[in-house]
Each structure stands twice: as structure tokens, then as C-alpha cells.
């Protein structure tokens, strides 16, 4: 499992490649990653954003339980 810092580094590298118009780059593991389109890169960026939000606790609760009383 990747740490939050690792995911943020990957996101930064992917975002830089997307804004520079680069379709392929070498990641921190030394692997060559090639994307066929900008939309594929944006989808990978969105997936990284979701994973970062999950690890940082930014995800809203999926279930809310109300505990009420009349104050008696």
C-alpha cells in the first residue's frame, strides 16, 4: 500500500506531465508509463485524487446515525 506522500508525488508528476502535454513518463519506480490520450491521464489523476482523499480522511461518512431524545 502506498503512503500518502507517495501518492501525492505520483499525482504531482502526473499533473506536470498532463500540463506539459507529455503522454509518457518514467515513474518513481523506474517504470515507463504511457497514456493514449489526455482523457486517460485525467481519469488516472482523478483516481489518484480519490485515493489521496480516502487516505487523508477527506471522504464524507457514508452512514449518518441520529440519536435523539426528549431530554428527560
- pLDDT tens readout for residues 20-71: 888 887 877 788 888 888 889 899 999 999 888 888 876 666 787 888 888 7
Cα distances (angstroms) measured from residue 27 to each of 2, 7, 21: 14, 11, 16
Instruction: Give the start-to-end residue ranges of the domains of the chain.
Output: 4-56
Segment 8-31, tens digit of pLDDT: 988 998 888 888 888 887 877 788
For residue 1, what pLDDT is reported?
67
For residue 36, what pLDDT is reported?
85
Q: What's the rounded Cα separation, in Å, for the pair 57 and 50?
A: 11
Amino acid at each position: 500500500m502506498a503512503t500518502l506522500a507517495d501518492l501525492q508525488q505520483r499525482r504531482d508528476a502526473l499533473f506536470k506531465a498532463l500540463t506539459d502535454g507529455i503522454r509518457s513518463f518514467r515513474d518513481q519506480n523506474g517504470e515507463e508509463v504511457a497514456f493514449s490520450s489526455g482523457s486517460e491521464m485525467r481519469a488516472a489523476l482523478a483516481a489518484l485524487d480519490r485515493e489521496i482523499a480516502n487516505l487523508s480522511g477527506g471522504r464524507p461518512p457514508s452512514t449518518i446515525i441520529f440519536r435523539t431524545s426528549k431530554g428527560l
